[in-house]
Amino acid sequence: MNSVLATGLQGINKSMDGAVKAANDIARAGQISPTANAAGITEVNGQGSGEVNLQMDLAESMVDLKVYEQSYKASAKVLEVATETVGTLLDIKT
């Protein structure tokens, strides 16, 4: 049973870390890095101001955020079921 609880907690931790990274990526999606700005770079991969890349990065980060949300929910469900199972076993034993 400890293994199941550890797996659920590990899933929640990984989901939270991934969600924070995706959220940070979304927050930075519209910004030009200070080094690129200082160097006067206004084009990325031949696209003016990197608009296409920014849209792709934003979309990818939003999808990642949704995936981590679903992963979090699944891990929480694992913990819920494990807790209910322990409760049921304790009820049967008494």
- Report the pLDDT value the prediction gives residue 1, as an integer from 0 to 100: 74
DSSP symbol at 94: -
Nearest in space to 31 (alpha carbons), one of 61, 5, 2 = 61
pTM over 0.85: no
> Does the pLDDT at position 19 exceed 50?
yes
> Does the pLDDT at position 13 exceed 80?
yes
Q: Looking up tokens 């959220």, which residue turns up?
A: 23
Question: Contact at 8 Å (CB) between 29 and 56?
Answer: no
- Report the pLDDT value the prediction gives residue 45, as an integer from 0 to 100: 46
Total structural domains within the chain: 1
Tens of pLDDT, residue by residue over 21-80, are 999 999 988 776 555 555 555 554 454 555 666 777 889 999 999 999 999 999 999 999
End-to-end CA distance of the chain: give it in Å, rounded.
Answer: 19
Residue 22 sits in which domain range?
Answer: 2-93
- Report the pLDDT value the prediction gives residue 48, as an integer from 0 to 100: 53
